[in-house]
């Protein structure tokens, strides 16, 4: 895998080596040993998630208190703009965000460690997002920050007619959120 560093040091983009021939393609999308070497620590994924969405669906910005989740994210169909926001109060990049296009074409894999809020916007007709999580989903610990918070200032791709869940539409601003790290 080729590793792309980001301006937020703990966020990593993995670019797998893709082997193509007349039959199709093959690539390794996860290897525990090389992944742990890349991020510099042991990791245990306990849950795999699969999200299907149509164009203009925006999900997030989600995080969990007490049981924060690290996420290893990839898109197997379509494309999305995937975003992580640093919620670690002691971090030099606290409240900074980073976004990357993930798609079935570019096959990038995005590592978001514990301590970040996560969200994505579907930029294709439809998209399937798969991700591994380091802790179980915990409804009582689930929190969110409003997607368009002015203090964070995410530059989402321009789109009309966003589709956002009622739950995400009433998320608090960053200042009023329940931060945990």
131 belongs to the catalytic site: yes
- Considering only CA atoms, which of 104, 127, 117 is closest in space to residue 71? 117
The tens digit of pLDDT for each residue in 15-53 reads 989 999 999 989 888 999 999 999 999 999 999 999 999
The tens digit of pLDDT for each residue in 81-102 reads 999 999 999 999 999 999 999 9
Catalytic residue (choose from 17, 50, 62, 118): 62
Alpha-carbon gap, residue 115 to 86, rounded angstroms: 7
The tens digit of pLDDT for each residue in 133-159 reads 999 999 999 999 999 999 999 999 999
Catalytic residue (choose from 7, 27, 131, 137): 131
Domain 2-169 falls in which CATH fold? Jelly Rolls (2.60.120)
Alpha-carbon gap, residue 13 to 20, rounded angstroms: 21
This prediction's pTM = 0.93
């Amino acid at each position: 895998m080729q590793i792309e560093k980001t301006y937020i040091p703990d966020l990593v983009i993995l670019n797998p080596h893709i082997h193509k021939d007349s039959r199709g393609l093959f690539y390794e999308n996860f290897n525990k040993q090389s992944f742990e070497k890349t991020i510099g620590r042991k990791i245990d994924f306990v849950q795999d998630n699969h999200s299907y969405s149509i164009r203009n669906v925006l999900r997030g910005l989600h995080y969990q208190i007490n049981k924060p989740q690290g996420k290893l994210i990839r898109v197997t169909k379509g494309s999305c703009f995937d975003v992580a926001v640093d919620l670690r109060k002691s971090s030099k990049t606290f409240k900074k965000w980073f976004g990357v296009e993930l798609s079935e074409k570019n096959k990038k894999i995005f590592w978001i460690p514990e301590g970040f809020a996560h969200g994505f916007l579907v930029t294709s007709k439809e998209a399937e997002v798969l991700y591994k999580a380091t802790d179980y989903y915990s409804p009582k610990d689930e929190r969110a920050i409003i997607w368009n918070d002015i203090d964070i200032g995410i530059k989402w791709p321009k789109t009309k007619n966003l589709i956002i869940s009622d739950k995400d539409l009433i998320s608090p601003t960053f200042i009023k959120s329940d931060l945990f790290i």
